[in-house]
Structure 1
């Protein structure tokens, strides 16, 4: 009888251990950008917080540099179809899903991180709805530092932009820069350096931060600030089926980790800018800041053209967000 009790206890212990083990889950997170980018660092922070808050029962494994074979443009379908659990996706790549995602990259519409965060808070319910309609959950979104132009020479006049083969990151940028006479082409981040190397492009629209993560000083001597062109967003989203498969406690922990990561990512911009500009100096990159009012006006006109094009594609939904943002900004 004693042996039977011991055997039963052992069996119960094994069953309990298996049950605990069965609750453990590994989630893969795909990011097209490098581990040292602001969003790469944010993903690592999110993974660490999830592990901490779930007691190790949920592990988020981050795959940087498109290591899983996905570009940002592939993420939405991959997560929606369950081929990928989580993705960190540049918003411009989601413009084909819904043009509302391009609101954060409207040229010269917001020029400070505070304005960018306010704009996101206004648009967030719409973003969440799009993800929900496609079997996904938006965990959080966070910004890139302000965009500028990486090139061999200063891009501080419309004459400098004329005919320039420049990479843009979405439709807004292509519209605006072509309006200024450039030969703009939209490229995913993974295609940027190969295109520079082959001479397919002569310049890149991205942040100083983006250029640092890609060691652009190996190709370009100059980063031109263009009046905080835009402060675009990345979105971290999870498969709804994957999320629903977590326990209530795990779900709560993942959402808490997402909220904390979001806040830390937004707050990190000033320090990231300081670090980035120090690296530019160390690598002999010239930073150009234009004070040409004629150039500023031309850029704003190009930005207005992109806004008109965006409103044409989003209609009343887009106008409602613009109105809500302006109202919130005026408070």
Structure 2
């Protein structure tokens, strides 16, 4: 009888221990507004897999892509701040309405290429960390997009060809460029871009090659002008309260996985750009070489955009700008 009682108590203890072990596991939802095959979503899934492996499964991150959780880009700083999701990917310049320091990433023609874009984001990172902390979150990694060009119905050979274009833009800086060239910017969610092209609401899109593939631009557009108007970046942030609930070992795993993912995505972006452009070309999009005169005209008409931003920029943003210009010797 005593043996049976002992075995029963052991079974109950084992059951309780097993239950507590299962309960110790933390599961988070992660938000991405980008489609499943977009490199930012893929990057977030790779990051989640790293975290699961590095924590021995104690922290599991489930990625919801394509805006499935119902949140849109400009609101994502607040969404993470308020704990509606513990972790989210977001376009940095897309949340610049919340803090102007984030707008520096896509100042038109500030970063001339991906190497300069990486330098700009490296210089900006401590200031971005401060801004994110004000919104009660922590940046885990920053990942690039290829440079944004114009995807059009008609071939553009000079700035005069931009007059009258109806252009979908993804942030304020892009909209200012379109206006300076005589076009009309449209701030549309990515999910509405294809239908807006098909209906004629817009005839042009300012974006990078991965988005062009995501939206199958070859079905509705004909030409691509690789202007590198802006070079955008995304950041993946975590709610600080959620982060602070984790033990130190798990916190460090999140940080380490973020560093690894950031390094990988910057390393891969040039090849990604060529790959996605090739897919578009294969499906009928013609890449139009951009003349030096076209680029010079664009830089000239957008000079006031950069100057006006700098006049009203917060001190942190001015510090980033100054250090960047010093390092690129401009």
- Please give the TM-score of this superposition, normalised by the length of structure 1: 0.95
Within a 5 Å distance, the mapping from 1:92-111 to structure 2 comes to 92-111=93-112
Is the 2:101–2:314 contact (alpha carbons within 8 Å) kept by the matching residues of 1? no
Q: Secondary structure at the match of 2:200?
A: coil
Cα offset, 1:114, TM superposition = 1.3
- What's the RMSD between the two structures over aligned residues? 1.6
Cross-structure match for 1:319: 318
User: Which has the higher mean CA deviation after the structures are superposed, 180-189 or 261-270?
Assistant: 180-189
For the residues of structure 1 that align with 2:316 and 2:82, how far apart are their CA atoms? 27
- Spell out the pairing of 1:86-97 with structure 2 (5 A cutoff): 86-97=87-98
By how many angstroms is 1:330 displaced?
Answer: 4.5
Structure 2 counterparts to residues 1-150 of structure 1, below 5 A: 1-150=2-151
Alignment of 1:236-255 (within 5 A): 236-255=236-255
Deviation at 1:315, TM superposition (A): 4.0
Aligned residue for 2:69, secondary structure, equals coil
Which residue matches 2:256?
Answer: 256
State the 1:278 CA deviation.
2.1
The answer on 1:163 being equivalent to 2:164 is: yes
For 2:161 and 2:232, locate their aligned partners in 1 and report how far apart those are by CA, in whole Å.
24
Do the aligned partners of 1:146 and 1:230 also contact (CA within 8 Å) in 2?
Answer: yes
Superposition misfits of 4+ residues, deviation over 4 angstroms: none
CA contact (8 A) 2:136 2:239 kept: yes
Alpha carbons 2:225, 2:287 under 8 Å: kept = yes
Shift of 1:233: 0.6
**Can you list the C-alpha shifts for 1:213-244, whole angstroms capped at 9, x where unaligned?**
11111110111111x22211111111111111
TM-score for both structures, normalised by structure 2:
0.95
SS of the residue corresponding to residue 166 of structure 1 reads strand
Match of 1:179 in 2: 180
Q: CA shift at 1:292, angstroms?
A: 4.3
d(CA) in 1 for partners of 2:302 and 2:171? Answer: 13
Aligned residues: 329
Contact 1:32-1:190 within 8 A present in 2 as well: no
Q: Distance in 1 between matches of 2:56 and 2:78?
A: 31
